[in-house]
Amino acid sequence: MPGQCGRVMFSTPFSSHVGRGEFTDVYDPAEDTFLLMDALEKDVNEIRKLCCTDINPLAAACSVESARCNGVNIQPIITDLVTGLMPRLQNQVDVLIFNPPYVVTPSEEIGGHGIEASWAGGERGREVMDRLFPQVSALLSSQGLFYLVTIQENNPEEIIQSLKSSSLKGTVLISRQAGREHLSVLKFWKA
């Protein structure tokens, strides 16, 4: 539906099942999720269809239920980041969206397949996202876009600079203070 200045605006997706019943151990949508939705809403005309992955099988099942409740059909792939998708998806991804585990935690908290996988980011909150960065350029199509949720402790400007070495240009698309966290969504494209 049209909003301010003719921009397309979407209602908040139905997600009352998240964190309840069989999905008790799935992380509820929070400020980072809603900021990411706001950022994607800005670029809705560039986004056509999505495939998703998650390391947590319960979170993947919850995503299927969320999609069903909102009139969308998805088939998540349960995998660690993009393991098993390369080289098949090389230069094929038009939109890559990553809301990573970005909270600064001890490194030993990383590697689980449960709810902790949704927040445990390790040193500087970057250990998981740093593993994906070397693969982003190879995944993206020539017109591909990469969206990444970060907090200030992840050093977003350093991330933008480091992905330049992979021939990706980047910018802070949107930022917001959410309690103690300063959230940003970064947007990257091939240079």
Please name each of the domains of the chain with its CATH number. Answer: 4-190 (3.40.50.150)
Quick one: which of 98, 92, 104 has its CA closest to 187? 98
Bridge partner list, 191: none
The yes-or-no verdict on residue 123 having pLDDT over 90 is yes
pTM score, two decimals?
A: 0.81
Decide if pLDDT at 47 tops 80.
no
Of residues 153 and 112, which shows the higher confidence score?
Answer: 153
For residue 2, pLDDT over 60 is answered with no
The answer to whether 51 and 73 have CB atoms below 8 angstroms apart is no
Mean of pLDDT over the chain: 86
- Residue 153, pLDDT score: 97
User: CA 169 to CA 187: how far, in whole Å?
Assistant: 8
- Rounded to a whole number of angstroms, the distance between the first and last alpha carbons of the chain is 33
Q: Average the pLDDT over 110-128 and give the result.
A: 90
Q: What is the CA radius of gyration of the chain?
A: 16
3-state secondary structure at position 22: helix
Is residue 77 classed exposed, middle or buried when 0-12, 13-18 and 19+ CB atoms within 10 A define those classes? middle
